[in-house]
Amino acid sequence: MKKKLLFAALALLLAAVVGLIGYDALTGRTQTTDFFAMDTTVSVRLTGCVKPETAEQIKAMVRHLDTDLLSRTSEGSEIAAVNRAHGGTVGEQTAAWLQTLKELEEISGHAFTADLGALTGLWGIGTENERVPDRDEIQAALAHTKKWSINGRTVTVENGAALDLGAVGKGIACDEINAIVRQTKAKKVIAAVGGSVLLYAKNPKETFRVGIRDPRGEANDYAAVLTVGSCCISTSGSYERVFTAPDGKTYHHIFDPSNGFPAQSGLLSVTVLCDSGLLSDALSTACFVLGCEKSEELLKAYDAKAVFITEENKIITAGDLAGRLEITADQYTLVEESQ
């Protein structure tokens, strides 16, 4: 009888150990999915006890966001439909994003402008029609910006204006990926949608080391490394989607809505961190337009932090990032802003 009991206890212990090992093996597993959507590469790393279907769900969701809701060039999307019809009713999700953006437009003094479509279409940067328009054309296009409104789910886009959510689609995708993974047993998630990244760790003490691209280097060169907890991070830089005109001058794709030209605010890039992907993406674009000093208030209004890389090779932090940024390329000097 004693022997039987001992054997049962041993069996139980063994089962517990095996169970534990099995559990650890599952939770420690990392799945990686890479695909192309929103005109960029999407790369998702899921660690933990996550079903393979989750990666498929994420892929389908990002494609849905692009094709059915946000892309102005996808005929069937909600944004394309309101642009075509000069307005209309959008779904609840799209309406909520647009309301957030309307507020951000106002707070940023229109450094972020959601209906720059007439202007971005005119320059065509990143498309086969890219060119430097003349000043009259730019003025004419500018007259068709800041001409949209939203009331509940009803959007109005004046004739000639067009919503262009190119500056925020990737951040929205990060938020939606975040919503999906939080319903799973994922322990850690890193999802990069072009220049917007979702970092999620179930354990609030866990940190990530994130490289900030060297704007003067190649795609895999870093200027600095940030150590952060769960958040969304977006970078806007003048090195992305650059077009060299026949006169040898280069033009980038982030426009200053006050003059219709690529923004020249003394920055090479700006990286914004906050809880929301939509906001980090919209703010990185707005801060690039505003430049370092004028961004301060805007960042405070959204409780966001930022890292600016200037044309003078200074790396300036905003918000409390003290001790969390390490410069990894010799040519840059760190300037920590106290706030």
Sign of CA dihedral 283, 284, 285, 286: positive
Beta-bridge mates of residue 41: 36
CB 118 within 8 A of CB 145: yes
Q: Is 166 in the site for ligand ADP (CB under 6 A)?
A: yes
Q: Which residue is nearest to ligand ADP (CB)?
A: 166
How far from 173 is each of 54, 126, 150, 232, 278, CA to CA, in Å? 15, 21, 22, 11, 8
Q: How far is the CB of 233 from Mg ion (least distance, A)?
A: 11
Closer Cβ to ligand ADP, 166 or 319, answer by number:
166
* Span interacting with ligand ADP, options 2-10, 208-216, 220-228, 251-259, rule CB under 6 A: 251-259
Tokens of 128: 């086969």
Q: Is 306 in the site for Mg ion (CB under 5 A)?
A: no
C-alpha closest to that of 111 among 6, 243, 236:
236
Q: How far is the CB of 120 from ligand ADP (least distance, A)?
A: 5
* Span interacting with Mg ion, options 36-44, 60-68, 87-95, 167-175, rule CB under 5 A: 167-175
CA distance 110 to 252: 19
C-alpha closest to that of 235 among 247, 244, 226:
226
Q: Is 236 in the site for ligand ADP (CB under 6 A)?
A: yes
Q: Is 83 in the site for ligand ADP (CB under 6 A)?
A: no
User: What is the pattern of x (binds Mg ion, CB under 5 A) and - over residues 235-264?
Assistant: -x----------------------------
257 binds, among Mg ion, ligand ADP, none (CB under 5 to 8 A by kind): ligand ADP
Closer Cβ to ligand ADP, 83 or 285, answer by number:
285
Question: Between residue 192 and residue 231, which ones bind ligand ADP under the rule CB under 6 A?
Answer: 194-195
CA distance 173 to 63: 9
Q: Is 170 in the site for ligand ADP (CB under 6 A)?
A: yes
For 150, the 3-state DSSP assignment is: strand
CA atoms within 13 A on the CB side of 69: 23
Q: Which of 284, 295, 310, 317 is the binder for Mg ion (CB under 5 A)?
A: 284
CA distance 307 to 318: 6
What residues make contact with Mg ion under the rule CB under 5 A? Answer: 167, 236, 281, 284-285
> Which residues of the shown chain bind ligand ADP in the complex (CB under 6 A)?
112-113, 116, 120, 164, 166-167, 170, 194-195, 236, 240-241, 253-255, 257, 281, 284-285, 289
